[in-house]
Structure 1
Amino acid sequence: MPENFVAEIKQDARKQMVDLLNANLSNAIALTLAVKQAHWNLKGRGFIGVHQLLDDVAARSREAADMIAERAVMLGGFADGTLETVSKAATMEAYPKDISDIEKHIEALKQRFMFVGGELRKAIDVADKAGDADTADLFTEVSRAVDKDAWFIGANA
């Protein structure tokens, strides 16, 4: 592993956290792309409001992915957010490519946000058990944002 900027975390825990961060990075990137897929293709009543909301949500998702990636590097690892990695490592269900109905997009996004939120909460527990309170805190911050965006999106149903 490259240089570590977080000295108090043991090497094996750092490696575990880097792997955990990269797994969640893949889901964060996949979620961002799902939001943009919906943003580009949705049609129906309330279009402009949801369309604009999804731009804001995508920006927050990109910011979350950035925080996750930077933490992996701080711990002495590499952030792995390449297309090839994300397409293989993301555990979120693939987003449908052939829907335009706004209600179907809202439901599809809500399901994926709930899934990613659940994965983040699992990551919080793993980071806590590994003794990495800062990574647990980062996952907590991201999970709060994911939950809030799920609520914003779902409120349009």
Structure 2
Amino acid sequence: MTTTIAPKVSQRLYPTRIDLSVEVRSQVIALLNGTLAATLDLKTQAKQAHWNVKGSDFLQLHELFDTLSGELEEYIDLVAERITALGGAPLGTARVAAADSILPEYPFDAVDGPEHVAALADRYAMYAKHLRSAIDRTADLGDADTSDLYTEVSRTIDKRLWFLEAHLIKKSDIA
């Protein structure tokens, strides 16, 4: 059996009265679709951790990972709706997310809490970096609303990265 990856979809724009040029909207939509892929991927990776975590901190981490996944679900919708508002089409299938995500595959051999926390912290850090870059890029393009959307998401992602990293600190790590 062969597996096929979703083909690149050419984006057509729908009419809108938003006062951004077609060129700017096209660039922002492409960036947002990349974010949509990464957000979908990160959500499924948080769910992977939620379903598979084991160990003495099981309940605490099980609930944390579910919270992370739920927040990411809200951001998926926020990003997809911004794409639509700009006259684009959100590319939000699992196949597109897998093909276009900036994140590495989740380590399926992770079992205990610290392994899952470290894997998610690594991915949250990559995602946060992407968001900060997107804040700057959309601001440079003159799309303050999308830049603000990215800023909103970035604040929570940085906070959640802090929550994840707090689980990894040991006394010996403190200077």
The TM-score with structure 1 as length reference comes to: 0.96
Looking at structure 2, the residues matched to 116 and 151 of structure 1 have their Cα atoms a distance apart, in angstroms, of: 13
AA of the residue aligned to 1:2: Y
Structure 1 residues not aligned, in runs of 5+: none
What's the counterpart of residue 56 of structure 1? 67
1:93 deviates by 1.1
What's the counterpart of residue 15 of structure 2? 3
* Residues 102-150 of structure 1: CA deviation (Å, up to 9, x unaligned): 1111000000000000001001111001000000000011111111111
**Alpha-carbon RMSD:** 0.9
What's the counterpart of residue 3 of structure 2? none
Question: Between Structure 1 and Structure 2, which shows a larger proportion of helix residues?
Answer: 1
Larger relative contact order (Cα-Cα within 8 Å, sequence gap ≥ 6)? 1
What's the counterpart of residue 82 of structure 2? 71
The runs of at least 4 aligned residues of structure 1 exceeding 6 Å deviation read none
- 2:98 counterpart of 1:98: no
AA of the residue aligned to 2:105: A
- 2:40 counterpart of 1:29: yes
* Residues 52-111 of structure 1: CA deviation (Å, up to 9, x unaligned): 111111110110111011000000000111112111100111111121111111000000
- 2:124 counterpart of 1:113: yes
* Residues 1-37 of structure 1: CA deviation (Å, up to 9, x unaligned): 11325x2111100010000000011000110011000
Structure of larger gyration radius: 2
AA of the residue aligned to 1:37: Q
Looking at structure 1, the residues matched to 56 and 123 of structure 2 have their Cα atoms a distance apart, in angstroms, of: 22
AA of the residue aligned to 1:3: P
Looking at structure 2, the residues matched to 44 and 3 of structure 1 have their Cα atoms a distance apart, in angstroms, of: 53
Name which of 141, 148, 152 aligns with 2:159: 148
Q: Kindly, what percent of the aligned residue pairs are identical?
A: 38
Would you say the 8 A contact 2:117–2:167 is kept in 1? yes
Structure 2 residues not aligned, in runs of 5+: 1-12, 169-175
Report the number of matched residues.
156
